[in-house]
Amino acid sequence: SFESLPLYALIAGLVVASSIWSLRRLTAPYRMMETAVKRIGEDLKSPPIAESGSREVRTAAKAVNAMQARLRAYVEDREHLAAALAHDLRTPLTRMRLRLELLRNSIVRTALAHDLADIEGIASSVIDFATFEVTEEKSERIDFWSLVESIADGFEEVSFDNEYTRSRGLICVARPVALRRCVTNLVQNAVTYGKKAHLSLRQSDRIITLAIRDEGPGIPQAELDAVFGSFVRLEQSRNRQTGGLGLGLTIARNIARSAGGEVSLSNHPDGGLMTELRLPLAV
Ligand SMILES: Nc1ncnc2c1ncn2[C@@H]1O[C@H](COP(=O)(O)OP(=O)(O)OP(=O)(O)O)[C@@H](O)[C@H]1O
Ligand SMILES: [Mg+2]
C-alpha cells in the first residue's frame, strides 16, 4: 500500500548511505596511497604520512613510508657519490691542466688539451645531473623575459619571432641558476641539432610558454618521449662536438617540473622541432 512507501524510501536511503559509507571506508587506504604516492613522486623529501586511522590505512601508510625512506636513502647515496666524485676529480684535473702548460707546443699537446676539456665537460654534466636535488639554491621570483633575453644574447643563431616588445611582469618562481640551465639546454639543442632557434614567449591562463622552433630534422615521432631519458642520444657517437651525454633534456625537464612546469617536444607541421617550456606565472 502507499502508506509504507516513505518507509521503503527510508530503508532504501539507509542502504545506499551505508554502502557509500562502507565503500569509502574500504577505499580509504587506496585514496590515501594515491595522494601519498603523488606527493612522493613530486618531492621525494616530503614528510612521511601519518600512520594512524584504521588498521588497513595504517598498514598502507607504513608501507608507503618505508618505500619512501628506501628511495630517499638510494638517492642520497647517489648524491654523495657524485659530490665525492666532483671533489676528488677536481684536483687531478687541475694538476693535469698545469702540467699541460709546461709541455712544448705540439699536436700532442693540443690533442691532450681537447681530451682534458672533454673529461672536464663530462664530469661536470654528470655531477650537475646527480647533485641536482642536493643543491641548496633557493627558489626566487625571476623576470623570465630578462632571463631568456640574456641567454639568447649568447647565441648568434637565436632570433625572436613575435613582436619583440619587452613585456614586464612575466614573473615565475624558480631556482635561478637551475632555470638558466634549463632554458640554455633547450636553446643549445635547437642550435646544435636544428641550426637556428626561433624563440617566442606568450602568456595565457597564468601559464608562461617559451616556444623554441628550430630548422633541423626534428625527432622521429616514436622517440619524442624516449629522448627525455637520461643518457639517451639518437645519434650514437658521444662526440662532444655534436652534443654530449644525453642528459640535457632530462635535466631541463627535472628543473621545469620542480618549478611546477613542463617541457614538451613536438614536430612542427612545417618542419623543425618545436620545444615548449611552460611555467606557472607567479601570483
Ligand atoms: N632540437 C632537436 N632536434 C633534433 N634532435 C634533437 C633536438 N634536441 C635533442 N635532440 C635529440 O635528443 C637527444 C637527447 O638530447 P639531450 O639534450 O638530452 O642530450 P644531448 O644534447 O645529446 O647531450 P647533452 O647532455 O650535452 O645535452 C640528442 O642527442 C638528439 O639526438
Ligand atoms: Mg643537449
Amino acid at 277: L
* 254 close to ligand 1 (CB < 6 Angstrom): no
* 198 close to ligand 1 (CB < 6 Angstrom): no
Domains of the chain by residue range: 2-70, 140-280
What number does the ligand 1 atom closest to the CA of 234 have? 31
Top CATH class, 140-280: alpha beta
Residue nearest atom 29 of ligand 1, based on CA coordinates: 233
* 193 close to ligand 1 (CB < 6 Angstrom): yes
Contact 226, 250 (CB under 8 A): no
**Using one digit for the tens of pLDDT, what is the confidence trace for 71-121?**
988 888 887 887 788 778 888 888 999 999 898 888 999 999 988 988 888
Partners of residue 142 on adjacent β-strands: 172
Maximal C-alpha separation, the chain = 111
Q: Rounded to the nearest whole angstrom, what is the distance from the C-alpha of residue 74 to the centroid of ligand 1?
A: 28
- For β-strands 197-204 and 262-267, DSSP reports them as unpaired
Residue nearest atom 31 of ligand 1, based on CA coordinates: 234
CA distance 96 to 99: 5
- Show pLDDT as tens, one digit a residue, over the chain (283 residues): 678 888 999 999 999 999 999 998 888 878 888 888 888 877 788 888 888 888 888 888 899 999 999 998 888 888 788 778 877 888 888 899 999 989 888 899 999 998 898 888 878 777 777 766 656 688 999 999 999 999 999 999 999 887 655 666 799 999 998 999 999 999 999 999 999 999 999 998 899 999 999 999 999 999 999 999 988 888 765 455 556 788 899 989 989 998 999 999 999 999 999 999 999 999 8
Closest ligand to C-alpha of residue 214 is 1
The H or E element spanning position 198 is strand 197-204
Of residues 280, 278, 144, 273, the one with CA closest to residue 212: 273
Q: Rounded to the nearest whole angstrom, what is the distance from the C-alpha of residue 75 to the centroid of ligand 2?
A: 24
* 194 close to ligand 1 (CB < 6 Angstrom): yes
